[in-house]
Amino acid sequence: MTAKKITGGGREGSLKVRVKTAKKRTISSTLWLQRQLNDPYVLQAKKDGWRSRAAYKLIEMDERYHLLKPNQKIVDLGAAPGGWSQVAIKKVGGKGRVIGIDLLDIDPIPGVEFTVMDFLDDDAPDRLKATLGGLADGVLSDMAANTTGHKKTDHLRIVALAELAIHFATEVLAPGGFFMAKVFQGGTENELLDILKRGFKTVRHVKPEASRAGSAELYVLATGFKGRAATAEE
């Protein structure tokens, strides 16, 4: 798999699809639908058989940082509709494992073990550990809280999700493993960055080209997990 340089230029790309606001559709929903219909990554994902445009983000980051390898065990938090899980299972192969969870159900993906689960439930991490049955090589989190329109509140919600995902990752990752999560503009809070920097050899923020133009979307990527003891409070 190779990340594609996908653009909306050219004669065809200039023919924008405009969507009229229906009686029962809000303006925000109409604008979202219009973006979807005119998004070259969405159109290309349909052609390539990916569940979502997000697949290209993971493909790009994997090619840049060599995250996914044969026979790995990968956990995909917030997996629906399945784009990242599709990419991961193709990379880890038949002897690898991909375990995905989400609030929403998804159509089966060959080789992917998927469970409908709310990661915010108190028992969710332990249930996920039981399904994993051992250590993981990578934890991916594309979880995003529902937005309120209030920037500070939305940022706090994203940080809370990232914090839960980080703590889970430090409990299940094997030495040398990696962690990647969505954080949005503003990056990762200092406290969380300190945890990552203690526990991983390298921590960086990454914005894939496949992220929407003008989007505040950002990912934190931590590689080279040092082991659980390294993340303990000093």
Helices (H), 39-82: 40-48, 54-65
The span from the CA of 133 to the CA of 13, in Å, is 47
Give residues with Cβ within 8 angstroms of 68, minimum separation 6. Answer: 62, 74, 87, 88, 91, 92, 138
**Cβ–Cβ under 8 Å, residues 112 and 100:** yes
Helices (H), 115-150: 124-132
> Mapping DSSP to helix (H, G, I), strand (E, B) and coil, where does residue 181 land?
strand
Check 16, 91, 182, 201 and give the catalytic one: 182
**Cβ–Cβ under 8 Å, residues 106 and 81:** yes
The span from the CA of 158 to the CA of 163, in Å, is 9
Is 182 catalytic? The answer is yes
The span from the CA of 108 to the CA of 111, in Å, is 9
- Catalytic residues, by residue number, are 182
